[in-house]
Amino acid sequence: MHLAKWAHDLAESLLAESLPRRWAHSQRVYSQALALAPALGPDAELLAAAAIAHDVGYAAAAVDTGQHMIDGARYLRDVVGADSRLCSLVAFHTSSPWEASELGLSDALEEFGPAEPELVDAITYCDLTSSPVGALVDPAERLVEVLDRYGPDHVVYRAVSAARPELLARVARVRQRSAEAAELGIS
């Protein structure tokens, strides 16, 4: 778990003190990623690292474009020299492509492509099952919470509204893969 430990320490240094709610959320996303490990095989540590670091783009040191997914991926790539697959997962998590499109940042997002669909599904699942304060939450309820928090005039509201069917499909695919892994006795 070298990569995950490194990412954990980095995210903690960027978020724990200045953004404690974001840090609590990131810790739950990380624990959700650890729970998916049996279904991910060799990519389990990569997902765990991306999960704990997925919101580092909110840290003051990382803000560049204002889209936290791209900003976090750029920080990881340019400042700390992180693995390109880790940067890609951070860049593409949850509703990032929709938000990038709304903001005219699709080209910036493509710096980190192509996305790996199964891993993007997994990090999205982890994000959507984690509340803003680190509690477990139903993904559909989490999306309602995001929409309520931002309101219809905000870019995040528009992006999440457009992405909602795909986000819930990602959650369903991860649940299916996890169930299949459990049936095969993979642990």
**What region does 185 belong to: left with phi over 0, alpha with psi -120 to 50, or beta?**
left
Can you give the residue ranges of every domain in the chain? Answer: 2-183
> What is the CA 96 to chain-centroid distance, rounded?
9
**What region does 81 belong to: left with phi over 0, alpha with psi -120 to 50, or beta?**
left
pLDDT value at residue 176:
95
Task: Tell me how far apart the alpha carbons of residues 156 and 111 are, in angstroms, rounded to a whole number.
Answer: 21
pLDDT tens per residue across all 187 residues of the chain: 599 999 999 999 999 999 999 999 999 999 999 999 988 989 999 999 999 999 999 999 999 999 999 999 999 999 999 999 999 999 999 999 999 999 999 999 999 999 999 999 999 999 999 999 999 999 999 999 999 999 999 999 999 999 999 999 999 999 999 998 888 876 5
Task: Tell me how far apart the alpha carbons of residues 56 and 63 are, in angstroms, rounded to a whole number.
Answer: 9
* Token pair for 102: 């709304």
pLDDT value at residue 151:
96
